[in-house]
């Protein structure tokens, strides 16, 4: 300040050393004005700084409040129960919405209270012990899938829980923070999925996977302890027919009823459904052979009784094959294969039977599998033949032929159709084979001078697979056979699958001009109802009724009834299996129009019947 005044005096002094007071006064005033401006600037800066600090503090408080609200919102809406307690007395100080829902108690009734004031004594004691353990040790507690009696509305639940200690700045216990995740549904679903993985969904019996595991375990134990046991292979007889006729819902109910009967009668044995209408039973260790046979016979009798299902009385049977360890196999593959061989023998011998494995059965099953394999080469190597059997009016006039498939195996010779046709239907080859038969029959018939009819059997499998209408139309065009000369014979098996689809296909074939005949009439479930649904050109009486005409009065009455019904519906009838003059005479008296059988002619190559089709030997040789 003094230096500033000295500077101002020097600036106001002239050359003679005289001070100009006016000048000095101006300089001092200017200095004071400048100093006052500086003070004002400083005051403004301080004021702005204070304002900025206040705004910063307000922003920090707002951010802190937002963070607190955000955290509260997260905790409140997290889908698992969250709680906090005072570490000193386990008094609840926080509980989110999920926790409130989990306990089924308003949080106002829990906050500020200890476990003793909320839960029953036994539960409060456990909660307090767990809290003290976490506080004393400082170690978090983790519990997985444990049962908690306190749950939603007091129901017992399965939970995963976590509980940990929070300390204050001095390191003293301050809070207990925990979460409870209700995993009841998840664990229940996992258990259900695990159950379904090893059990049949329809019957709730163990499935194939479970049976194989049980068999492997049994084999291991039996090998170590040198004990024996038995395996039963079971198959429901006629189940497919019932399923197709009455529908899948009734079939499912029937399957459950049959499974219940098997499980109830099995005396604690391991019963499994391994697929379709097949079951397996694993008998206890060291069971006696006679006890196994007795159980099998009892099962056959039990299943053989009619099962009332939803006002239906579908009748099924049961066939059983049995194999014993170690006599019939020392490993799972051999044991099961031999049980299946015994089952196959039981079904082949008439069903509703029990058979124990015998060594020759293995060869029989091997032969069957080999035959199925040989079928694949039969078409390529021209092993199939078409035989023709005459069809005639009841007075003997031949009006056509039925084309019949024959297999001349290179080493086995002629294989009976009832052996190889079911195999061809099983593996699907019947579609290709059936098309070949149809083409050969139409080609042959188209060459006959006489316009006789030719009848060809169609398998239900041909209706289910491929484009049958297109195939028949193409064959008629290729061979030049007039469509009205072709008659296709079907059994009710064609209709009992997808009835609507089969019916539409039959109508399209009829529109081509092809005639439709129902074969084996009277042997199935619903032959009569099918006559209402489709205008058949002919029905064929099954040979079983004809062969018994002279032996059983019932057969004669059935034949009369069929003929009477057919006449009323104006449908021609042909009787199969006519072998005697007495049978022909009976049919003539009952006004049966047509007959087929050994009395008219046996199935043979067409060369035997050249005269009937109007071909002379010379013409045939040089055509």
By CB atoms closer than 10 A (0-12, 13-18, 19+), residue 556 is middle
Percent of the chain residues past pLDDT 90, beyond the cut: 31
Mean pLDDT confidence for 396-421: 92
Task: Indicate if the pLDDT at residue 23 is higher than 80.
Answer: no
Residue 104 gets the label, from left (phi > 0), alpha (psi -120 to 50) or beta, of left
Q: What is the pLDDT of residue 138?
A: 86
Mean pLDDT confidence for 75-93: 84
- Mean pLDDT, the chain, rounded, equals 83
| Mean pLDDT of the 351-378 span | 79
Q: What is the pLDDT of residues 30-50, one digit of tens each?
A: 766 666 666 677 667 667 776
Q: How far apart are CA 269 and CA 284, in angstroms?
A: 6
Pick the more confident residue, 600 or 29.
600
Choose the weakest-confidence range: 70-84, 114-128, 428-442: 70-84
Of 417-431, 459-473, 487-501, 569-583, highest mean pLDDT: 569-583
pLDDT value at position 522?
63
pLDDT at 48: 72
Asked if 576 and 543 touch (Cβ cutoff 8 Å), the reply is yes
What is the Cα–Cα distance from 548 to 545, expressed in whole angstroms? 5
The tokens describing 194, both together, are 């695990």
439, 475 contact by CB (below 8 A): yes
Given a cut of 50, is residue 109 above it in pLDDT? yes
Decide if 536 contacts 528 (C-beta within 8 A): no
User: What is the rounded average pLDDT of the residues 372-382?
Assistant: 85
Give the DSSP H/E element, type plus range, for residue 166.
Answer: strand 157-167
The secondary structure of residue 138, as a DSSP letter, is -
What's the pLDDT at 623?
37
Q: By C-alpha distance, which of 525, 544, 539, 523 is closest to 455?
A: 539
106: how many CB neighbours lie within 10 A of its CB?
A: 10
CA pair distance 324, 283, nearest whole angstrom: 10
Q: Is the pLDDT of residue 613 over 80?
A: yes
- Cβ atoms within 10 Å of 487's Cβ, excluding its own: 19
| Size of the chain in residues | 623
**C-alpha Rg value of the chain to the nearest Å:** 48
Q: 332 and 297 in contact (C-beta within 8 Å)?
A: no
Predicted confidence (pLDDT) at residue 369 exceeds the cutoff of 70: yes
Is pLDDT at 550 greater than 90 in this prediction? no
| Report for 72-76, 84-88, 141-145, 212-216: range of highest mean pLDDT | 212-216
Instruction: Judge whether residue 153 has pLDDT over 60.
Output: no
pLDDT of residue 375 exceeding 80: yes
**Average pLDDT of span 214-241:** 89
* Distance linking the first and last C-alpha atoms of the chain: 149
For residue 371, which phi and psi values (nearest 5 degrees)?
Answer: -65, -40
Q: Which residue has the higher pLDDT, 299 or 492?
A: 299
Under DSSP, the state recorded for 391 is E
Residue 621 pLDDT grade (very low, low, confident, very high; cuts 50, 70, 90): very low
Which of 50-54, 319-323, 617-621 shows the lowest mean pLDDT across its residues? 617-621
The answer on pLDDT for 365 being more than 60 is yes
Residue-wise pLDDT for 255-295, tens only, equals 888 899 999 988 889 999 988 889 999 998 888 889 999 99
């Amino acid at each position: 300040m003094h230096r500033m005044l000295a500077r101002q005096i020097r600036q106001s002094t002239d050359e003679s050393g005289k001070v100009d007071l006016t000048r000095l006064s101006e300089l001092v005033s200017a200095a004071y004005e400048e100093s006052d401006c500086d003070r004002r600037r400083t005051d403004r800066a301080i004021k702005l700084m204070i304002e900025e600090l206040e705004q910063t503090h307000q922003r920090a408080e707002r951010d802190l409040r937002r963070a607190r609200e955000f955290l509260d919102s997260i905790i409140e809406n997290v889908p698992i129960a969250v709680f906090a307690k005072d570490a000193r007395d386990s008094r609840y100080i926080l509980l989110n919405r999920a926790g409130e829902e989990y306990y089924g108690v308003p949080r106002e009734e829990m906050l500020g209270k200890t476990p003793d004031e909320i839960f029953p004594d036994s539960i409060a004691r456990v909660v307090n012990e767990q809290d003290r353990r976490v506080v004393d040790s400082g170690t978090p507690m983790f519990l997985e899938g444990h049962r908690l009696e306190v749950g939603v509305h007091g129901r017992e639940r399965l939970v995963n829980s976590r509980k940990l200690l929070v300390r204050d700045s001095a390191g003293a216990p301050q809070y207990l923070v925990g979460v409870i995740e209700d995993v009841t549904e998840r664990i229940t679903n996992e258990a259900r999925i695990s159950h379904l993985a090893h059990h049949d969904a329809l019957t709730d019996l163990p499935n194939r996977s479970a049976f194989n595991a049980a068999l492997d375990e049994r084999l291991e134990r039996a090998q170590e302890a040198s004990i024996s046991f038995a395996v039963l292979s079971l198959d429901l007889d006629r189940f497919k027919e019932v399923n197709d006729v009455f529908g899948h819902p009734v079939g499912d109910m029937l399957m459950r009823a049959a499974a219940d009967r098997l499980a109830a009668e099995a005396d604690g044995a391991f019963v499994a459904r391994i697929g379709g209408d097949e079951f397996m039973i694993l008998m206890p260790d060291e069971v006696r052979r006679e006890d196994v046979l007795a159980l099998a016979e009892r099962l056959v009798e039990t299943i053989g009784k009619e099962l009332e299902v939803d006002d239906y009385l579908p009748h099924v049977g049961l066939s059983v094959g049995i194999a014993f360890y170690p006599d019939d196999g020392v490993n799972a593959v051999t044991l099961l294969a031999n049980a299946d061989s015994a089952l196959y023998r039981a079904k082949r011998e008439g069903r509703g039977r029990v058979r124990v494995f015998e060594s020759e059965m293995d060869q029989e099953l091997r032969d069957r599998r080999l035959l199925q394999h040989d079928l694949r080469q039969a078409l390529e190597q021209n092993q199939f033949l078409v035989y023709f059997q005459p069809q005639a009016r009841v007075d003997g006039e031949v009006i056509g032929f039925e084309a019949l498939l024959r297999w001349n195996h290179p080493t086995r010779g002629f294989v009976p159709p009832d052996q190889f046709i079911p195999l061809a239907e099983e593996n699907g080859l019947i579609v290709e084979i059936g098309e070949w038969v149809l083409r050969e029959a139409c080609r042959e018939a188209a060459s006959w001078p006489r316009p006789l009819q030719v009848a060809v059997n169609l398998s239900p499998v041909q209706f289910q697979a491929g484009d049958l209408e297109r195939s028949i139309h193409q064959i008629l065009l290729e061979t030049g056979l007039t469509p009205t000369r072709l008659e296709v014979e079907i059994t009710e098996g064609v209709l009992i699958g997808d009835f609507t689809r089969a019916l539409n296909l039959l109508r399209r074939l009829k529109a081509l001009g092809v005639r439709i005949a129902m074969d084996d009439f009277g042997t199935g479930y619903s032959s009569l109802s099918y006559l209402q649904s489709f205008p058949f050109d002919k029905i064929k009486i099954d040979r079983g009724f004809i062969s018994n005409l002279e032996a059983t009065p019932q057969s004669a009455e059935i034949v009369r009834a069929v003929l009477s019904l057919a006449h009323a519906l104006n449908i021609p009838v042909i009787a199969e299996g006519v072998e005697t003059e007495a049978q022909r005479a009976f049919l003539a008296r009952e006004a049966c129009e047509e007959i087929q059988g050994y009395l008219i002619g046996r199935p043979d190559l067409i060369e035997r019947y050249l005269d009937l089709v109007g071909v002379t030997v010379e013409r045939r040789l040089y055509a």
